[in-house]
């Protein structure tokens, strides 16, 4: 079972994943700048609410932004390729 840690702000997300079967870590960095290079029609942004018990501590925003990154497969099927978690500075 992999363990994941997501560290993010409005511009970038650093994701660390521990693969127990391989006994190693994978580190990935996703940035808003990369999305500026992508086809706009293949990006979908959504906001999700943070549970009040976490947002009310003042350490987390009330909403997180999820930037879904889609791509077309070799069979011309639209698939979710990856995503980036972000947050806006307003709380």
H/E run at residue 32: helix 32-37
The whole-chain average pLDDT of the chain stands at 91
Q: What is the pLDDT of residues 8-45, one digit of tens each?
A: 999 999 999 999 988 999 999 999 999 999 999 999 99
Of 5, 1, 25, 3, the residue nearest 14 (C-alpha): 5
Whether the CB-CB separation of 42 and 34 falls below 8 Å is answered with no
DSSP 8-state class, residue 20: T
């Amino acid at each position: 079972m992999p363990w994941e840690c997501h560290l993010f702000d409005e511009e970038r997300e650093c994701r660390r994943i521990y693969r127990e079967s391989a006994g190693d870590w994978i580190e990935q960095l996703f940035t808003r700048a990369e999305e500026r290079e992508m086809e706009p029609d293949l990006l979908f942004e959504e906001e999700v609410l943070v549970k009040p018990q976490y947002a009310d501590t003042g350490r987390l925003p009330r909403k997180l932004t999820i930037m879904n990154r889609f791509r077309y497969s070799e069979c011309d099927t639209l698939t979710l390729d990856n995503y980036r978690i972000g947050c806006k500075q307003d709380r």
